[in-house]
Structure 1
């Protein structure tokens, strides 16, 4: 807490930055390398804390990891996979939920796995019950202890039929990573179909997996005895691209996001245009800017892909504080994602949160006492404040608010932002932001 970012607001962000591979894909592709009998190579890898955490966990299990940070190329050799000490796993994984996805690959390679207490952003319950139930369906034995969860599969994993109550990204990834080397066929219904899932399927297919995806969210996996390593280039991080787009909009700026791609961002681009933002899609990226005039209020509902991504919601809410009229935002993916609005209200924003489902159909959080809808009244000038970063996406949203606010803000806990935004301080400098790290 002694280190903070001093941000002098009121300066439009202008210039060019580059986004590399998607945080929500790269870490899963790294885990997938455990399934191969030979080395893998992953390109377009960002230098972020989550990549370092997964790399350390892989090394604990005997994987040789070499990250060429400048070029963004990651080499992973799982030839000597072995069990890791429980204390070491706990020490490295305290701030990440990724160890749960190690289970399937480790059960295939070693016959056992261990999960410590899991961390991650506090944006909702995000239970691991889906994951444990999935592993049990494959034939794994789950033993919960005070220090964590021990999982064994001495007879190996067997294909099964699974229907998710909700198209969870994590549960879909767990199923894929467990099914590709399981005996027989696995059928997964109500699966997540996010672009990051599609890219993971592409990686697994390159390794030798047999996976088909139907239009009704059904994925079928035919288990194989052996997988090889892969060579793959990660898709761009659509969350980071959307975050910088919102920053350009709320500061009245003009930012070219090199590496951003249209197909994965179509839903965001439609909403960005409705609010009043402008963009230009090029072969090597997307330019986002505020064209002048008033921003417009909207009714927005987050949803699983191809809906509006929940991770785009928080940065865009900051922009909506500068839009004319009442905007309604209904969060249907995480039940506790409006906690970040408290700091925005302290900066002068007019935001009210409600338990009711506003602006659309009832969702699974309706009548369950969760504050999962928000009404944003604009336009309201933002004032500088002392801010403590609550979580990754909320933290970047607070940073955007500080950049737009009148006066000088102090943003504490910025190390959390490093989990998912590569060199964000360097990018702020490239965009002429007046921000400096202070002890």
Structure 2
């Protein structure tokens, strides 16, 4: 695929598009198929490169995947799960952090698992120590080797009590995918409770798991001896929906996002309205538009669900460059997520980064010397520039900036955007964007 997008910006985006299943659920539901003793059917699957990467990893482990002539549907047959070659796993893992989530299911199915060095977006440290600590508590033995980590479970995996130091989505997924077939009861405290987590729980329950979500971020899992297949329709991608909403606001446009759902997007919708955007919810999706006049600055802090999610922050910052006054954004989840604003400065935005916590929410970075708070002064006209995509969400944010800017922009490295945004060039066509690929 072409690596460069040339954008002639300055015109409103107007039209409608569709978002399908959430990237952050679909890949985990695919991994869950490793636990099944029967075929699995996953629907509403987006055509994104992350799905292809996870498909490749599962096929390396013997899972048969059929998507022929089934747009948005995967059939997964895990009957003959087997250990993959180390070199093959390593070749696939460079583009994804999913291999660490295969460990629990593979330990149950094969008695061992291997983790190579992990890739993913460079938005923060994102250590896997949470995952390894969790697996050790279940009884896994972790051995460091030159090519990566080898995990075994000599005495099988057993239920345990786990208290996460932070409500990590990845660590919560690890617990769920491991505990469902561990012997005994697992109690997880300080769990992540994002909509994608609850949808993964729904998948596992369909397979035969016994999971209860209790108050105060407590999840209890009673291990079972076997799990069957599932038939599941993935929840829509609230990150992509919010990204297109920010594009509508930044370009003074009007975009109908078919598939967007109000409940999962309530924190975003509140912020969108405070800024001065407007929206209308119906049974099929949500229409987002610039209501006219000036946009309002605001103070915003990212947080784990039910707070304002970190993945909405980067596209929103582009829209905040068009608000009147000073906006403050305090990023509390990923320490390097505001690094993308440097290129916005080259396009005319006025963004100042600070090491201090400019907000009252609990933050892990206040004394760690990371520039994780931003002050955005606006409105500032954006002008075309030559920019390079830094990560998935930052990349789409650059695309929004290019669409809002006067003049021509060249956006390099757009292959990263394909990791989480399905057919985004076709959607740009549907919204009347002026661009060329290549």
What is the TM-score when the length of structure 1 is the normalising length?
A: 0.99
Give the corresponding residue for 1:437: 437
Measured against aligned partners, the alpha-carbon deviations of 1:38-61 in whole angstroms (never above 9, x if no partner) come to: 000000000000000000000000
Q: 1:70 to 1:345 in 2, by over 3 A?
A: farther
Give the corresponding residue for 1:242: 242
Give the corresponding residue for 2:88: 88
Q: Deviation of residue 435 (structure 1)?
A: 1.0
Give the corresponding residue for 2:4: 4
Measured against aligned partners, the alpha-carbon deviations of 1:252-308 in whole angstroms (never above 9, x if no partner) come to: 000000000001000100000000000000100000000100010000000000000
Q: Deviation of residue 33 (structure 1)?
A: 0.5
CA distance in 2, matches of 1:419, 1:245: 19
Q: Deviation of residue 70 (structure 1)?
A: 5.4
Give the corresponding residue for 1:396: 396
Give the corresponding residue for 1:15: 15
Q: 1:9 to 1:284 in 2, by over 3 A?
A: same
**Structure 2 unaligned residues grouped into runs of 5+:** none
Are the equivalent residues in 1 in contact too, given 2:333–2:363 (CA < 8 A)? no
CA distance in 2, matches of 1:239, 1:191: 21
Are the equivalent residues in 2 in contact too, given 1:47–1:69 (CA < 8 A)? no
Across the aligned residues of Structure 1 and Structure 2, the Cα RMSD in angstroms comes to 1.0
Give the corresponding residue for 2:322: 322
Q: Deviation of residue 69 (structure 1)?
A: 6.6
Runs of at least 4 residues off by over 4 Å = none
Q: 1:263 to 1:155 in 2, by over 3 A?
A: same
CA distance in 1, matches of 2:337, 2:382: 21
SS at match of 1:204: helix
Q: Deviation of residue 126 (structure 1)?
A: 0.3
CA distance in 2, matches of 1:268, 1:163: 29
CA distance in 2, matches of 1:161, 1:260: 36
**Structure 1 unaligned residues grouped into runs of 5+:** none
CA distance in 1, matches of 2:362, 2:283: 40
Q: 1:82 to 1:362 in 2, by over 3 A?
A: closer
Are the equivalent residues in 2 in contact too, given 1:90–1:117 (CA < 8 A)? yes
Q: Does 1:121 align with 2:121?
A: yes
Q: Deviation of residue 34 (structure 1)?
A: 0.5
CA distance in 1, matches of 2:146, 2:391: 26
Measured against aligned partners, the alpha-carbon deviations of 1:347-405 in whole angstroms (never above 9, x if no partner) come to: 00000000101032452211210111000000000010001000000000000000000
Using the TM superposition, name which of 356-365 and 282-291 deviates more: 356-365
Are the equivalent residues in 2 in contact too, given 1:39–1:75 (CA < 8 A)? yes
Q: 1:411 to 1:226 in 2, by over 3 A?
A: same
Q: Does 1:256 align with 2:242?
A: no
Are the equivalent residues in 2 in contact too, given 1:340–1:390 (CA < 8 A)? yes
Q: Deviation of residue 71 (structure 1)?
A: 2.4
Using the TM superposition, name which of 314-323 and 147-156 deviates more: 147-156
Give the corresponding residue for 2:199: 199
SS at match of 1:402: helix
Give the corresponding residue for 1:144: 144
Give the corresponding residue for 1:341: 341
What is the TM-score when the length of structure 2 is the normalising length?
A: 0.99
Measured against aligned partners, the alpha-carbon deviations of 1:295-338 in whole angstroms (never above 9, x if no partner) come to: 10000000000000000000000000000000000000111100
SS at match of 1:186: strand
Matches within 5 A, 1:392-431: 392-431=392-431
Q: 1:433 to 1:356 in 2, by over 3 A?
A: same
CA distance in 1, matches of 2:379, 2:146: 50
Q: Does 1:28 align with 2:33?
A: no
CA distance in 1, matches of 2:241, 2:70: 20
Q: Deviation of residue 154 (structure 1)?
A: 3.0
Give the corresponding residue for 1:217: 217
Are the equivalent residues in 1 in contact too, given 2:2–2:437 (CA < 8 A)? no
Measured against aligned partners, the alpha-carbon deviations of 1:220-250 in whole angstroms (never above 9, x if no partner) come to: 1000000000000000000000000000000
Give the corresponding residue for 1:281: 281
CA distance in 2, matches of 1:295, 1:404: 15
Give the corresponding residue for 1:227: 227
Give the corresponding residue for 1:170: 170
Q: 1:69 to 1:324 in 2, by over 3 A?
A: farther
Q: Deviation of residue 68 (structure 1)?
A: 4.5
SS at match of 1:339: helix
SS at match of 1:340: helix
CA distance in 2, matches of 1:53, 1:368: 34
CA distance in 1, matches of 2:402, 2:195: 31
SS at match of 2:53: helix
